[in-house]
Each structure stands twice: as structure tokens, then as C-alpha cells.
């Protein structure tokens, strides 16, 4: 008995698709206002981003990266935030119980861009690198917002132990 082409496609396509999603990345919807203006810049727009799993496989995150992670408060929820500090950095917090925090080894500090409207490290402290699930590489929907997501950290959130680089013109 010959297997129809449709079933062959499914038989081979599903494992290939699962492998790609599990190791390369996937597209995810960004809900909420915590990352405004970088993501979801207005109430009428919902951004969909490509979450690159390869970029975080070695847990190499940089200040300014927008990353997806499992929420330390609710393991059933995924959140997306900006990396403000990495291990060894000294961070001036925005309402955390300690006004200044040194990020321990194997951890990082995340914040939403929309200060005051975000459940982030200012609520739960430094986050373990093991909670990382992906790095937001680009906005893929809507078409009017297609762009590569830049690694940018607001000057007001630069760690205290990092000297700002002043470039001459």
C-alpha cells in the first residue's frame, strides 16, 4: 500500500517543524504596555517578534538586549523585558527593596521600557540566566513595523560601575 503524499508531508514536516521551533526560534505575540515604546508603541498595535533561541543558548546576554524568559513569579507565564545589567554590574534600582544591587554570578537585571508599568527586576530582583528562553531579534508583524530590534540601553539605566563612552565628533 502506497502512503499518499499528504501524509508523507505531515510525517516528515511535523518533526522538522518541532526541531526548528525547539532549537532555532519562533514568532511570539507581545502583549501589554511594559515595553513601550520599543514594542507595542500604541494601544492599536500588537507586535509579533521573532524569538531567537540560538542567541541565548550559551546564556550570552548583553546590556540592552530584549529577551524572553519564564517569569520568576509565575512559571506558567513568559515575559519579555530589556536586559539592564549583567553579572557583576552595580545597578541603581527603581523601587526595589535595596536602592543599589550588585548582580550576582549567573544572574541579570531586567526592566520594562515603560517604567512603572512593568513587573520586572524592580519587583523580584536579579533573575537567573536559566530562565532565558529567547532573544527578540526582529519585529515580524505588522508589516509597517518590520525591523531588526537594536540593542539599546537608555543612558539613565547604565550600570553604576560602567563608565559611559563619550564619542567626539
- Give catalytic status of residue 156 as yes or no: no
- Give catalytic status of residue 81 as yes or no: yes
Which residue shows C-alpha cell 519564564?
A: 70
Identified catalytic residue from 34, 68, 118, 121: 34
Residue 146 corresponds to which cell in the numbers above?
518590520
Calpha distance 18→24 (Å, rounded): 10
Q: Comparing C-alpha atoms, which of 125, 126, 142 is closest to residue 86? A: 126
Identified catalytic residue from 23, 53, 58, 81: 81
Residue 16 corresponds to which cell in the numbers above?
522538522
- Where in the sequence numbering do the catalytic residues fall? 34, 81
Amino acid at each position: 500500500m502506497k502512503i499518499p503524499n499528504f501524509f508523507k508531508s505531515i510525517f516528515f514536516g511535523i518533526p522538522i517543524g518541532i526541531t526548528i521551533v525547539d532549537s532555532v526560534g519562533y514568532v511570539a505575540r507581545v502583549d501589554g504596555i511594559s515595553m513601550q515604546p520599543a514594542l507595542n508603541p500604541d494601544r492599536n498595535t500588537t507586535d509579533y517578534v521573532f524569538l531567537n533561541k540560538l542567541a541565548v543558548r550559551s546564556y550570552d546576554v548583553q546590556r540592552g538586549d530584549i529577551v524572553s524568559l519564564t517569569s520568576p513569579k509565575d512559571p506558567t507565564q513568559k515575559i519579555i523585558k530589556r536586559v539592564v545589567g549583567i553579572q557583576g554590574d552595580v545597578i541603581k534600582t527603581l523601587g526595589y527593596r535595596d536602592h543599589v544591587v550588585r548582580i550576582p554570578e549567573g544572574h541579570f537585571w531586567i526592566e520594562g521600557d515603560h517604567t512603572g508599568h512593568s513587573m520586572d527586576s524592580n519587583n523580584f530582583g536579579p533573575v537567573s540566566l536559566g530562565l532565558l528562553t529567547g532573544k527578540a531579534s526582529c519585529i515580524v508583524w505588522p508589516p509597517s513595523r518590520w525591523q531588526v530590534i537594536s540593542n539599546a540601553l537608555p543612558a539613565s539605566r547604565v550600570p553604576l560601575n560602567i563608565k559611559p563612552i563619550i564619542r567626539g565628533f
